[in-house]
Amino acid sequence: MKNIKICFAASSGGHFEQLMMLTPLMDKYKSFIVTEKTNYNIEKKQDKNIYYLSQINRKEKMWILKFILNFLISLKIFFKEKPDIVISTGVLATIPICLICKLFKRKLIYIESFAKVTSPTLSGKLLYKYADRFYVQWESMLKIYPKAIYLGGIY
């Protein structure tokens, strides 16, 4: 089981902070991180490759071009790293790596945001139907995602 390679993917900010709660899992398996390039530095884990995507705001006029660029970058990362599993806390910038993983018959684990107590994220709504495991951090979210798994928060 140690030979499994995991891609941990999240946008910046709170989504990335939630992903970092899974550091013990990152340390247990071969893994790498995919996130957005921002103005602040991410503390590099000693033995983990970190790949950066363009930050996307769907309210920008050029968001679709950035999304396509992120898809191409994600495809390159996927073929270089060859992950068995992608674990994502969202959002828009990480959708390409999640969809690529499903396209190549890999496992997708999606963790809906801790901040979402009564409504879904757009990426959660999209990836719910593709995820092999879909986790919610609030029991109330099972009304929105009836096939989700509730185990509490990752904090």
The pLDDT > 70 percentage for the chain reads 94
Distance CA 117, CA 140 (A): 6
Domains, the chain: 5-150 (3.40.50.2000)
The answer to whether residues 8 and 98 touch, using CB atoms and an 8 Å cutoff, is no
Determine the average pLDDT of the residues in 74-94: 96
> How confident is the model over 54-73, as a mean pLDDT?
91
Longest alpha-carbon distance in the chain: 44
pTM of the predicted model as reported, rounded to 2 decimal places: 0.91
pLDDT in tens, 1-60: 568 999 999 998 888 999 999 999 999 999 999 999 877 656 665 578 999 999 888 888
Q: Do 110 and 135 meet the contact criterion of CB atoms below 8 Å apart?
A: yes
pLDDT at residue 58, rounded to an integer: 80
pLDDT exceeds cutoff 60 at 127: yes
Compute the distance between CA of residue 58 and CA of residue 60 in angstroms, rounded to an integer.
Answer: 5
